Chain A
């Protein structure tokens, strides 16, 4: 969800939250961002000044702390992102190339005794 709030500080906050929440599984990330976005929307509706908006965001706390609270105990990311998986597969494939080359050469190499 990328709906702008119409308020620059709030939009920056949500952008930072989405960035920090990348370590979460997609469904959990979406739920968390939607909840915070709804909270901010309610808060902006009641805020009567710029200072009130800043207090709203300060009271929410740092996006990194919110995401940390959503992680399982131990703090390890519960899921590997799609991009990370693709990079892992590509890296594994690249790592296999020298091995395949060595195997191919060893398969077709002539034994010393057959040389003239």
Chain B
């Protein structure tokens, strides 16, 4: 498996939680959110594919959306995290910390002798 395939697998597992984390402190509109992810190394290969993910998160109750008028152009759709989204994010953080430590131990320390 080459680096691109490995990166794709890792992205598939983590991207939705990264989206929730970006919305944890404040709501963001679509273009802003997608551009942050697009500019973060390795997070997305195609910015447009983030929108189906946002739709799935909304349908699963972890995000809500609101259209607001914009002084800079057409109305913007703002994404906000819900309580369910915050709970999901908290659970992921706990698991990720544990998982990352375990993988690091095996990858870089070789595990038990």
Give A residues with C-beta under 8 Å from B.
Answer: 28, 31-32, 34-36, 38-39, 41-43, 45, 59-63, 65-66, 69-70
In this complex, the member of A35, A41, A61, A62 whose beta carbon has the largest number of chain B beta carbons within 10 angstroms is A35
Contact A69 B29 (CB under 8 A): no
Given contact pairs A32-B55, A39-B30, A66 touches B73 in the complex (Cβ within 8 A): no
How large, as a class, is the contact surface on chain B? 20 to 34
Give B residues with C-beta under 8 Å from A.
Answer: 29-31, 34, 38, 45-49, 51-55, 72-77
Contact B49 A69 (CB under 8 A): yes
Q: Is the interface of B mostly helix, strand, loop or mixed?
A: helix
Given contact pairs A39-B30, A42-B31, A61 touches B51 in the complex (Cβ within 8 A): no
In the complex, the 3 A-B pairs of residues with the closest C-beta atoms, listed nearest first:
A61-B46, A42-B31, A70-B52
Contact B46 A35 (CB under 8 A): no
Number of A-B contacts (CB under 8 A): 65
Contact A60 B54 (CB under 8 A): no
Given contact pairs A59-B38, A61-B49, A70 touches B55 in the complex (Cβ within 8 A): yes
Given contact pairs A69-B53, A70-B55, A38 touches B76 in the complex (Cβ within 8 A): yes
Complex CA distance for A31 and B77, rounded to whole angstroms: 11
Complex CA distance for A43 and B29, rounded to whole angstroms: 12
Which residues of B have CB within 8 Å of A70? 51-52, 55
Complex CA distance for A66 and B46, rounded to whole angstroms: 8
Contact B48 A65 (CB under 8 A): yes
Question: Which listed residue (B51, B52, B53, B55) contacts A39, Cβ 8 A?
Answer: B51
